[in-house]
């Protein structure tokens, strides 16, 4: 029975990781605390939490100033991370884990919100500037590199006259929240492809 279970686990690419070393870091950006649950800024948290559920793990261990979990994507051992430093200091947790596991920027995948796109739209980028996003800015500064892939999750453009902080810290309306959640499966599959070295395929299939 154990051999059959292990076979199914290997085929599915899910479950807790083996003794193989962690080679990739997957980060969901957001703010800790109940008051930020459901906000636009926390869709990165939500996406990586959904990924963890698909991989059969819970992100509930505290290390590197973050909540973390280890999982397998195919034969690749990854560290899933939700920084607990608040958005503007996200780079502290990311850089600490990257140093500990000796993970280069190109193997760090970041999920974050983006006000340039409507809810339900995602854009996958191989690398790029922080674009004014404070979480990405912190990661770039602490890593000393912007050469990490990211999945940008649309949360809607800021209405004219709104303060940016008020907008991203506001809660998504039900229809917008549902539009984002409807893409979680696509984000999970995109993560699988990116970790396997097929980011071009992920971009073609899921950047829409």
Q: Which residues are part of the catalytic machinery?
A: 41
Report the candidate in 84, 208, 104, 112 with the shortest Cα–Cα distance to residue 168.
Answer: 112
Whole-number Cα distances in Å, 46 to 6, 88, 105, 113 = 28, 18, 22, 10
Q: Is 74 left (phi over 0), alpha (psi -120 to 50) or beta?
A: left
- Structure tokens of 112? 């974050």
**Phi and psi for 162 in degrees, rounded to 5?**
-85, 145
Angle at 206 between CA 178 and CA 177, to 5 degrees: 10
Order of all β-strands in the sheet with 61-63:
61-63, 66-73, 76-83, 22-28, 108-114, 150-154, 122-125
Name the strand (E) or helix (H) holding 150: strand 150-154
């Amino acid at each position: 029975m154990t051999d059959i279970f292990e076979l199914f686990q290997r085929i599915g690419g899910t479950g807790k990781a083996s003794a193989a070393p962690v080679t990739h870091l997957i980060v969901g950006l957001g703010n800790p605390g109940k008051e930020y649950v459901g906000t636009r800024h926390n869709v990165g948290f939500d996406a990586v939490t959904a990924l963890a559920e698909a991989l059969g793990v819970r992100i509930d261990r505290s290390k590197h100033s973050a909540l973390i979990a280890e999982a397998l994507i195919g034969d690749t051992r990854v560290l899933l991370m939700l920084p607990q430093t608040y958005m503007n200091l996200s780079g502290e947790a990311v850089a600490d884990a990257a140093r500990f596991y000796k993970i280069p920027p190109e193997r760090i995948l970041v999920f974050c919100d983006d006000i340039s796109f409507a809810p339900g739209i995602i854009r996958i980028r191989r690398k790029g500037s922080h674009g004014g996003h404070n979480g990405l800015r912190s990661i770039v500064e602490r890593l000393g590199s912007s050469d990490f892939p990211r999945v940008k999750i649309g949360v809607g453009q800021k209405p004219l006259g709104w303060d940016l902080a008020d907008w991203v810290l506001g809660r998504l309306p039900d229809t917008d929240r549902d539009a984002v959640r409807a893409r979680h499966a696509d984000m999970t599959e995109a993560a699988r492809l990116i970790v396997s070295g097929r980011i071009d395929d992920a971009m073609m299939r899921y950047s829409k």
